[in-house]
Structures are given as structure tokens and as C-alpha cells.
């Protein structure tokens, strides 16, 4: 939770706000963290991002085009 201090008419008011992680519910008093956005009452990752643990992160670079060749015992490449 975060504690906000608001100054109005020389009086101090305290407002407590709660935080939610991606996948948790959110509202006007419960804000989203972990780079997520409150959409229809839930903290969600925006398009192009994915949820990893409690954060929204960019997806990994695809490695499907990479090729790793194994080497045989005599040092020759096996295909």
C-alpha cells in the first residue's frame, strides 16, 4: 500500500491507496502496478506484452530460426 498526503486548506488528509498486480482486480482506489493497466476492473498487460510472474514484460525474441549443430567425437559435424 502507498500512503498519499493531501494538503487542503492547511489541513492534512491521509488517503490510503492499494496496488494490484497483473491479473488482480483494480478500481479507482486500487491502481495497477507491474506495467499493467486497469481494463474493465482487472489489471492487464497491454497488447504486445505478456505476464511473467507479477510483471508485464516484452515477449522474448523468437529463436525458432536459430540452428545449433552438434559435434561428433572426432570433431566432425553431425547433420
pLDDT level of residue 63 (50, 70, 90 thresholds): very low
Q: Which candidate, 63, 34, 64, 72, places its Cα nearest to that of 50?
A: 34
Which of 14 and 31 is assigned the larger pLDDT?
31
For residue 60, the model assigns a pLDDT of: 79
Between CA 55 and CA 49 the distance in angstroms is: 10
* Mean of all residue pLDDT scores within the chain: 76
This prediction has a pTM of 0.55
Residue 17 has pLDDT above 50, yes or no: yes
Amino acid at each position: 500500500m502507498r500512503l498519499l498526503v493531501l494538503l487542503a486548506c492547511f489541513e492534512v488528509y491521509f488517503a490510503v491507496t492499494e496496488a494490484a498486480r497483473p491479473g488482480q482486480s483494480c478500481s479507482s482506489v486500487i491502481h495497477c502496478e507491474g506495467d499493467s493497466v486497469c481494463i474493465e476492473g482487472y489489471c492487464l498487460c497491454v497488447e504486445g506484452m505478456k505476464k511473467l510472474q507479477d510483471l508485464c514484460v516484452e515477449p522474448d525474441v523468437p529463436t525458432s530460426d536459430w540452428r545449433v549443430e552438434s559435434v561428433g567425437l572426432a570433431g566432425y559435424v553431425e547433420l
